[in-house]
Amino acid sequence: MYRWGLSVLCLVVATSAVSLAADWESAATPGAAATSNKRIGSQVLGQAATKPFGRQTQAQSSLTGKVRYIKVFGTVHAPVIVMSRRKMMESKAPGVRLELTTLSSTPDINQAILTNNADAGSLGAAPVLIGWSKGIPYRIGASLGSVPLKLITTRDEIKTLKDLKQYLATSGAKIAVIGLGTLQHQFVQMAAEKEFGDPKALDPYMVAMPQPDSRAALKAKRDIAARVSSPPALTVELKEQGVRELADAFEVAGVMFPLATVVVSRRFHDEQPEVYRLFIETLKEAMDWIAANPDETAKILSEEAGGKIPPAVFLQDLRTTKFDITPRGIMRFSDFMLKTGQISKKPSSWRDLTWPNLHGLNGN
């Protein structure tokens, strides 16, 4: 159950975000949320003061290089998307560019970094811990953001986790997570341990499935009885008739944690230190810009999704998202994953998994 899925690299074209968003089109109606001009209530924490983007130093003006970055679809990746769309790195260092690619699963991101087809990518703490324990040469350069993560169902007869387990045992239906070994997987296991005293109680019923596919299957009440969801899909789903929340990840884990972190390969970090520094600096500036410009950010995210999800949905997402570069929850997941046998060793500190630029922050 806990095999590490370093799958064959499957790079998709830049329109992947569009195709992913299209699967949610029927649910994402323009009336889903009202657009507001108010400042987002989210906080941008753990950030040192940075220069306004666009101001370039003499050293930056002569800097050359690129950052090949891979992500999956989701609101949590807004800082990287804003960096790319607004060309924030390029405005400071014309010789540097950010190449952004969207994939369908996190194992593909691991494989891309491992084979030097990417310099950095978005991964949750759980797959990073697995990669670290197996010697994959990367570390976390920043966290991205904490967004809601929930286990939901559309079955009328399922109101609790006990109902879900009984239904799965008799119906043959499954719980969909984006991948085994991911934060979604750990969340369901933590919920199972809390409810049944056994973290593996729901393992026989879990399957790995891309979010658009599991969303469609759950809505159609086919072979998926429950799924773990995050924004923007979750924002839409919770407004749909018959959708019920079974568990909340932050409540189950007992700690707020980022859904994704920015992992950076050792090769890139060591061979292009100035480009790495510029990337992290600009990432923090993007978080500041998002906090100050929620409406424009929502429009950018809608464009990234091919216009299939209206800005109002993303604007609502941004109100419940905390963008923060500080790594949190690493040791919580480390302890849990060691106990369940998914890693054979644990770091002595969260700093073991991060690059030095984060070591002065109050992570955990």
Give me the residue label for tokens 């960096």: 83
Whether 348 has a pLDDT exceeding 80, the answer reads: yes
Question: Do 26 and 120 share a domain, yes or no?
Answer: yes
Kindly indicate the confidence band of residue 19, based on its pLDDT and cuts at 50, 70 and 90.
very low
Contact 302, 78 (CB under 8 A): no
Contact 143, 258 (CB under 8 A): yes
Contact 265, 182 (CB under 8 A): no
Q: What angle do CA 356, 358, 363 make, to 5 degrees?
A: 130
Q: Tell me, what's the pLDDT at 73?
A: 87
Q: In this structure, is residue 334 part of a structural domain?
A: no
| Better-scored residue on pLDDT, 20 or 78 | 78
Q: In this structure, is residue 190 part of a structural domain?
A: yes
- Structural domain including 157 reads 150-253
Q: In this structure, is residue 25 part of a structural domain?
A: yes
Closest alpha carbon to 246 in 259, 261, 234, 231: 234
Q: What angle do CA 315, 298, 144 make, to 5 degrees?
A: 85
Question: Do 83 and 232 share a domain, yes or no?
Answer: no
Question: Do 129 and 155 share a domain, yes or no?
Answer: no
Query: Rounded to a whole number, what is the distance in angstroms from the first to the last CA of the chain?
Result: 28
DSSP states of 70-132 as a string? EE-SSGGGHHHHHHHHTTHHHHH-TEEEEEEEE-S-HHHHHHHHHTTS-SEEEE-HHHHHHHH
**Calpha distance 149→248 (Å, rounded):** 6
| Better-scored residue on pLDDT, 29 or 111 | 111
**pTM of the predicted structure, to 2 decimals:** 0.82
Q: Tell me, what's the pLDDT at 63?
A: 86
User: What is the token pair recorded at 314?
Assistant: 């993303």
Q: In this structure, is residue 1 part of a structural domain?
A: no
Q: In this structure, is residue 10 part of a structural domain?
A: no
Question: Do 303 and 352 share a domain, yes or no?
Answer: yes
**Calpha distance 173→206 (Å, rounded):** 9
Strand 260-265 to strand 138-146: parallel, antiparallel, or no bridges (unpaired)? antiparallel
Question: Do 21 and 107 share a domain, yes or no?
Answer: yes
Question: Do 127 and 58 share a domain, yes or no?
Answer: yes
**Calpha distance 259→148 (Å, rounded):** 8
At which of 219, 253, 287 does a domain end?
253
Question: Do 248 and 263 share a domain, yes or no?
Answer: no
Question: Do 220 and 184 share a domain, yes or no?
Answer: yes
Whether 120 has a pLDDT exceeding 70, the answer reads: yes
Q: Tell me, what's the pLDDT at 60?
A: 72
Average pLDDT over residues 4-23: 35
- Give the DSSP H/E element, type plus range, for residue 283: helix 273-292
User: What is the token pair recorded at 204?
Assistant: 């026989």
The CATH number of residue 193's host domain is 3.40.190.10
Whether 31 has a pLDDT exceeding 50, the answer reads: no
Whether 55 has a pLDDT exceeding 90, the answer reads: no
User: What is the token pair recorded at 301?
Assistant: 């995210």
Question: Do 279 and 195 share a domain, yes or no?
Answer: no
Neighbour tally for 25: CB within 10 Å: 14
Q: In this structure, is residue 212 part of a structural domain?
A: yes
The count of domains in the chain is 2
| Better-scored residue on pLDDT, 38 or 351 | 351
CA distances from 9 to 81, 113, 117, 133, 164 (A): 22, 10, 9, 21, 34
Question: Do 231 and 213 share a domain, yes or no?
Answer: yes
Give me the residue label for tokens 């429950």: 226
Q: What is the pLDDT of residues 267-323, one digit of tens each?
A: 999 999 999 999 999 999 999 999 999 999 999 999 999 988 999 999 999 998 999
Whether 200 has a pLDDT exceeding 60, the answer reads: yes
At which of 253, 288, 315 does a domain end?
253
Whether 4 has a pLDDT exceeding 80, the answer reads: no
Percent of the chain surpassing pLDDT 70 = 84
User: What is the token pair recorded at 176?
Assistant: 């969909």
**Calpha distance 64→55 (Å, rounded):** 16
Omega into 204 within 30° of 0, i.e. cis? no
**Calpha distance 300→305 (Å, rounded):** 9
Question: Do 204 and 139 share a domain, yes or no?
Answer: no
| Better-scored residue on pLDDT, 13 or 73 | 73
**Calpha distance 169→333 (Å, rounded):** 28
| Better-scored residue on pLDDT, 62 or 269 | 269
Q: In this structure, is residue 44 part of a structural domain?
A: yes
Q: In this structure, is residue 308 part of a structural domain?
A: yes
Mean pLDDT score across all residues of the chain: 85
Question: Do 181 and 210 share a domain, yes or no?
Answer: yes
Contact 65, 272 (CB under 8 A): yes
At which of 253, 282, 312 does a domain end?
253
Q: Tell me, what's the pLDDT at 129?
A: 96
